[in-house]
Structure 1
Amino acid sequence: MSPVTALAALAAGAPAETIWVNESPSNRPAFHDQIRIDRPGSFLFTAGGGLGFGLPAAVGAQLGRPSRPVVAVIGDGSMQYAIPALWSAAAYRVPLTVVVLTNKEYAILKWFSQFENAAGVPGLDIGGLDICAIARGYGVAATHVESREALVSAIAIATASDLPMLIEVPVSTVLPSLEESR
């Protein structure tokens, strides 16, 4: 599905008091178009653009605000930088919802390499990773959804759970135009 459809489904299924953590840089414009942040302290995002903060930040946010649901929206590339945070969520029974928007590539790094005219940058394709199996290996329940309806349902279930849950959502890659960014 498109990132816009996936994020609209998240907005429809998540509770109003959700704290959102976003580390899906290639989908950031769609996130801001679809997710309405209308309460103080409800949005965490890195100011510097570094990768790897999202998953541990979400665990910390949930520990710091246990009365509010936390949903981390993370790209499959970004997730690889701090994946052991899944172990922490499972070991400490942190009721965190992790939504991995999977496009099978480091899309934002691909965009940045094109922006910088760095042709032939290796390692941008990360197809073949089984995100759900990785999460289960760390002790986190995981599901793979491919429709808007299934995602709305999965996010409602996950945010109501008292355990960490991961939802993998395959999305198409939509990158900013290079011309608009120069």
Structure 2
Amino acid sequence: MATVDIRQNVFYEAFEYSYNYGSYIENVMLVTKGRQLGYGCNLKLVRSIDLSSNNLFGSIPVELFGLFGLRFLNVSHNCLVGEILENISGMTTLECLDLSKNDLSGKIPQSMSNLTSLNCLNLSYNYLLGSTPSSTQLQSLSKDSFIGNAKLCGAPLRINCTKDEESHGSTPVHKNGDES
């Protein structure tokens, strides 16, 4: 997943089995954000990491954003802190990203507007601030992707940004306890 494989006809022996009476190809049903996707002969296309609800602490490892072939990433419901790094823009094949219900702070990097394959995003219930990156890609997503970030403004949220919020943001407020 650290590279993007542009070859279309890659054969993966690990997913195909032959027997005396025929052959068998594995099938996987992947459910992500309410969508059920089936993978059979195209199982090699599944590039997913789900680390949700693991009580992870600290910042998001920079190496995670170096997995350029990743299509689905879920690290929601943890205790991750810090900012979303600018190098997230290299994850050009990312289709679904869930960083919700952590303690992330700072601005949403403008570089996220380069994630043109992204059609599912959840940054809700963090401490993000400032304006949402200006791109049709991110601003066309549901406002539910951004709710619970009291100091976040701009489309698709109904909160307009003041000039001060757009340029500097403000200091995040931290949690005092556990969420229900």
TM-score range, shorter chain: 0.3 to 0.5
More strand by share: 2
The structure that is helix-richer by fraction is 1
TM-score, length-normalised on structure 1?
Answer: 0.32
Report which of the two structures shows the higher radius of gyration computed on alpha carbons. Answer: 2
